[in-house]
Amino acid sequence: MTRVLISGGKVVSASGRSDADVLIDGETIAAVLAPGQAETLGLSDEGRDVTVIDASGKYVIPGGVDVHTHMELPFGGTAASDTFETGTIAAAWGGVTTIVDFAVQRTGESVQDGLAEWHRKAEGNCAIDYGFHQIIGGVDEESLKAMTYLVDHEGITSFKLFMAYPGVFYADDGQILRAMQNAGESGAMIMMHAENGIAIDVLVAQALARGETDPKFHSFTRPAELEAEATHRAISLSKVAGNVPLYIVHMSASEALEEVAAARHAGHNVFAETCPQYLYLSIEDQLAQPGFEGAKWVCSTPLRSKHEHHQADLWKGLRMNELAVVSTDHCPFCMKEQKELGLGDFSKIPNGIGGVEHRLELLYQGVVTGELSLERWVETCCTTPARMFGLHPRKGVIVPGADADVVVWDPNGHTTIGVDHKHHMNMDHSAYEGFEVDGKVDTVLSRGTVVVADDQFHGRPGHGRYLPRGLSQYLQ
């Protein structure tokens, strides 16, 4: 099998950066070589069955790991517009080489049936490697047994619960406690959508009764206090269950972040992620646009006000490791015939923003503006997600033996995001229309195969493999 040498670049990891060459043999990384070593070994010339990729002046980083995506997710009478094929191709365009999606069990359904359905959707269709979390929408004796079985036999070691969406995914405190106790026995991670859904439903009904139907009221009826309250309650329940590992998804509010920071300071197994939309988008600039335009940015947790301190605090949380991971919560819907389901009633707008293609790009802009270091960019987008969800050291690092998932990033390049520029997700709009990024995805390899290069997609559906995952490597 042809070997690949990525030469002349600066390899960036979570712990530092160094001038080095990366030798790939088949699907794995064979060696990280000091400058000149490849030449000494006779590997630097095209020939001897070696393909050379010139990374001079560029960064060489591990492939991105996005641990929060929703391909083909049924929601609100429709389904997310990206299939596993279109969504993973878009991910590859953005330097993402692994996703972890969510298999779904709704109230009254079988966990195993939900998982089987997600395997059916994904198998043979993914352009990059993929794994699954399991949503538990109905906590009962059968689903608790299924959780243990999935950890032991299916390589699924994380389970998502919802404090929101009564009647669909909602779990009450007793159910959450039971699921956490079960996870504690098997070493699994509980992922939590932390919003007080019961109170939110009251606020939504009251807003609609007042005739407040525009998209901006989606945020006004999901106040930061109810995200913080639910986060505090989830942390308290995890303590009662025995310091069970808890991962708060899509954190948007300073008040919720304070709860996580306090728990981490006290030594508890509490982690959190945020998403690019909460770092860059706001009620004023996006959600409150005239007419129905703001529907493009309806997601839960919602966008917050730019006049408060949420964005600055989230960036600080990333720097200080109060926030461990940046994912996307990629859940795309088109405006036409999908978001439009909520015309005249914001509560019927399908919740979700598409972003799987743009996470590395948007977070790199944070490096340019001084919000993050290069190393922290790699850590939050590649290394920590892999370690958090049992994919390390196969994913998220450039070391011998790891999968050859590698991104060559051009810091001197430029990316304009928008439907007429860089946009490969199956959506009729971009949440980041007109955003400019000082940097560019140059080349992407998935298990040693070039899938993106020279502004062309060279991969194929079916290249991606299912990844059974181990336990989190962050547990105390």
Read off the tokens for 24. 């790939």
Looking at residue 168, its pLDDT comes to 87
Q: Strand pairing partners for 444?
A: 407, 452
Closest CA to 324 of 249, 399, 254, 267: 249
DSSP characters for 343-360?
A: TT-GGGSPP-B--TTTHH
Looking at residue 47, its pLDDT comes to 58
Inform me whether the pLDDT recorded for 1 exceeds 60: no
What's this model's pTM, rounded to 2 decimal places?
0.96
| Mean pLDDT, rounded, of the chain | 96
HEC per residue, 133-186:
EEEECCCCHHHHHHHHHHHHHHCCCEEEEECCCCCCCECCHHHHHHHHHHHHHH
Looking at residue 106, its pLDDT comes to 80
Counting Cβ atoms within 10 Å, is residue 247 exposed (0-12), middle (13-18) or buried (19+)?
Answer: buried
Q: Which tens digit of pLDDT belongs to each residue from 233-283?
A: 999 999 999 999 999 999 999 999 999 999 999 999 999 999 999 999 999
Looking at residue 123, its pLDDT comes to 97
Q: How far apart are the first and last CA of the chain?
A: 41
Looking at residue 235, its pLDDT comes to 98
Inform me whether the pLDDT recorded for 8 exceeds 90: yes
Question: In this structure, which amino acid lies at residue 124?
Answer: G
Pairing outcome for strands 325-326 and 270-274: parallel
Contact in structure between 466 and 391 (CB atoms under 8 Å) = no
Looking at residue 48, its pLDDT comes to 67
Q: Mean pLDDT across the stretch 47-61?
A: 91
Other C-beta atoms lying within 10 Å of the C-beta of residue 168: 13
The number of residues in the chain equals: 476
Looking at residue 44, its pLDDT comes to 66
Q: Mean pLDDT across the stretch 81-91?
A: 98
Estimate to the nearest angstrom the gap between the alpha carbon of 165 and the chain centroid. Answer: 21
Q: Indicate the range of 36-50, 60-74, 219-233 predicted with least confidence.
A: 36-50
Going from the N-terminus, what domains does the chain have, and what CATH number goes with each?
3-61+402-416+434-457 (2.30.40.10), 63-388 (3.20.20.140)
> 3-state DSSP: the chain helix, strand, coil percent, rounded to 5?
35, 25, 45
